[in-house]
């Protein structure tokens, strides 16, 4: 995979044991609901990452000459750049080495930037060319490989997103408020309470939320709660403490949710982070879990 020189002003975070370097925009990002980082891995082993569900849409633009390989039950697909929706099914991403720009989009930002409703993506991992067009993505890739520093690359991506954003409101204020309420309560909120806060019936919220977010309100709350639990498990907290802190009925309840979302036990999930961790996009979580 092609290599790049990192500019002297690039604030790199290093994980020497696992070969990861990460850089974040010095001035942040222009658009609300968008977080961004550049990642590079120098190890010979390259990338081998399980995709985990997150309460965000993840966009990855690969900077190397070789595409990533996305492995799912239906087979393998080579993708240079990709989009992982809020709750993708089981998948792995592999690549020789790894160098990319990764964006984390809130559902509201994703609505304005992707060009299609999230419900149409249906928990998929799609090629970015299919959403933004091969010509636009190809041009952006050329620009990113032509500049010398990570900060220049991140600025280029930020400018691209700013030009692309759809100024027309594509998510209703009530749905946006319901999502914000789920996030603020870390998934520990009843759908009926969300509906009441919006002035809608439970049925109307369920229908509008599902159409615009791509998940039911209940599934969204479960996903946000799982995300907080997974972070705590990966930080070394015990399953019993995590179950209590994150609002699970008991430890078996936590076990069932982790198994449903991550396809493994809480202990296995924590073990992945401690044995082959990738530096987190602080304070956000990365695309998946390396193994």
Same domain, 245 and 111: no
Instruction: Give the separation between CA 189 and CA 257, rounded to whole angstroms.
Output: 17
pLDDT band at 273 (very low <50, low <70, confident <90, very high): low
Instruction: Tell me, yes or no, whether 232 and 147 share the same domain.
Output: no
**Same domain for 30 and 153?**
yes
**Range 203-232 average pLDDT:** 94
Dist CA 179 CA 89 (whole Å): 21
Give the largest Cα separation in the chain, rounded.
55
Q: Determine, yes or no, domain membership for 84.
A: yes
In the listed set 167, 189, 214, which residue is the last one of a domain according to the structure? 167
Same domain, 74 and 190: no
Residue 194: its pLDDT value, please?
A: 94
The highest-confidence range among 6-15, 65-74, 162-171, 252-261, by mean pLDDT, is 252-261
d(CA 144, CA 147) in angstroms, rounded, equals 6
CA 229 to each of CA 98, 262, 285, 288: distance values in angstroms, whole numbers, following the listed order: 27, 12, 12, 15
What is the total count of domains within the chain?
A: 2
20-29, 184-193, 281-290: which has the minimum mean pLDDT? 281-290
Give the chain's length.
Answer: 291
* Residues 6 or more apart whose Cβ sits within 8 Å of residue 150: 4, 6, 7, 10, 12, 23, 38
Asked if residue 289 belongs to a domain, the reply is no
Angle at 256 (CA atoms; ends 117, 233), nearest 5 degrees: 85
Strand, coil or helix: 222 = helix
Residue 238, domain CATH: 1.10.10.60
Q: Look up the domain containing 208 and give its range.
A: 173-275
133 and 200 share one domain: no
Please check whether residues 18 and 161 belong to one and the same domain.
yes
Tell whether the model's pLDDT for residue 188 goes beyond 90. Answer: yes
Residues 93 and 101 sit within 8 Å (Cβ to Cβ):
no
Is the residue at 281 inside a domain? Answer: no
Q: How confident is the model at residue 185 (pLDDT cuts 50, 70, 90)?
A: very high
- Residue 284 predicted with pLDDT over 60: no
Quick one: how far is CA 160 from the chain centroid? 19
The average confidence (pLDDT) of the chain is 82
Looking at the fold, whether 194 and 103 belong to one and the same domain comes out as no
Is the same domain home to 185 and 257? yes
> Taking the CA atoms of the chain, what radius of gyration do you get in angstroms?
19
pLDDT digits (tens, 9 = 90+) for 125-157: 888 998 899 999 999 999 999 998 999 999 999
From 169-173, 200-204, 242-246, the region with the lowest mean pLDDT: 169-173
Domain boundary among 167, 188, 210: 167
Model pLDDT, residue 52: 81
Residue 263 maps to a domain: yes
Peptide bond just before 283 cis, omega within 30 deg? yes
Residues 18 and 124 in one domain: yes
pLDDT of residue 18: 54
Residues 158 and 212 in one domain: no
Does residue 5 sit within a domain? no
- Between 28 and 285, name the one with better pLDDT: 28
CATH number at residue 110: 2.60.120.10
Note whether 256 and 19 are within 8 A (CB): no
| 221 in Cβ contact with 187 (< 8 Å) | yes
**Pairing, β 68-72 against β 12-15:** unpaired
Question: Could you tell me if 123 and 208 lie in one domain?
Answer: no
The per-residue pLDDT for range 27-63, each reduced to its tens digit, is: 889 999 999 999 887 665 667 777 788 899 989 898 8
Is residue 283 situated within a structural domain? no
75 and 187 share one domain? no
pLDDT digits (tens, 9 = 90+) for 93-120: 887 766 889 999 999 999 889 888 888 8
Whether the CB-CB separation of 230 and 272 falls below 8 Å is answered with no
Asked whether residue 7 is assigned to any structural domain, the reply reads no
- The encoded tokens of residue 16 equal 């020497």
Whether 184 shows a pLDDT value over 50: the answer reads yes
> Is 3 inside any structural domain?
no
């Amino acid at each position: 995979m092609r290599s790049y020189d990192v500019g002297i002003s690039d604030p790199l975070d290093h994980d020497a044991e696992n070969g990861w370097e990460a850089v974040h925009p010095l001035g942040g990002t222009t658009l609300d609901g968008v977080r961004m980082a550049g990642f590079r891995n120098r190890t010979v082993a390259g990338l081998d990452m399980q995709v985990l569900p997150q309460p965000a849409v993840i966009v990855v633009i690969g900077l190397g000459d070789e595409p990533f390989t996305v492995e799912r039950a239906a087979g393998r697909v080579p993708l240079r750049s990709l989009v992982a929706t809020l709750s993708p099914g089981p998948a792995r991403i592999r690549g020789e080495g790894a160098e990319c720009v990764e964006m984390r989009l809130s559902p509201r930002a994703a609505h304005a930037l992707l060009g299609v409703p999230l419900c149409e993506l249906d928990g998929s991992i799609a090629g970015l060319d299919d959403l933004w067009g091969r010509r636009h993505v190809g041009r952006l890739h050329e620009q990113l490989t032509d500049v010398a520093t990570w900060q220049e690359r991140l600025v280029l991506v930020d400018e691209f997103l700013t030009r692309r954003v759809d100024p027309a409101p594509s998510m209703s204020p009530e749905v946006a408020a319901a999502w914000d309420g789920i996030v603020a309560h870390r998934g520990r909120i009843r759908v009926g309470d969300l509906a009441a806060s919006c002035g809608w019936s439970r049925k109307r919220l369920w229908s509008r939320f599902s159409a615009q977010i791509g998940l039911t309100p209940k599934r969204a709350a479960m996903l946000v709660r799982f995300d907080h639990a997974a972070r705590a498990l990966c930080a070394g907290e015990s399953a019993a403490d995590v179950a209590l802190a994150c609002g699970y009925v008991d430890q078996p309840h936590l076990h069932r949710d982790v198994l449903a979302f991550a396809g493994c036990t809480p202990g296995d999930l924590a073990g992945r982070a401690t044995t082959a961790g990738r530096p987190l996009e602080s304070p956000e979580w990365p695309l998946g879990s390396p193994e």
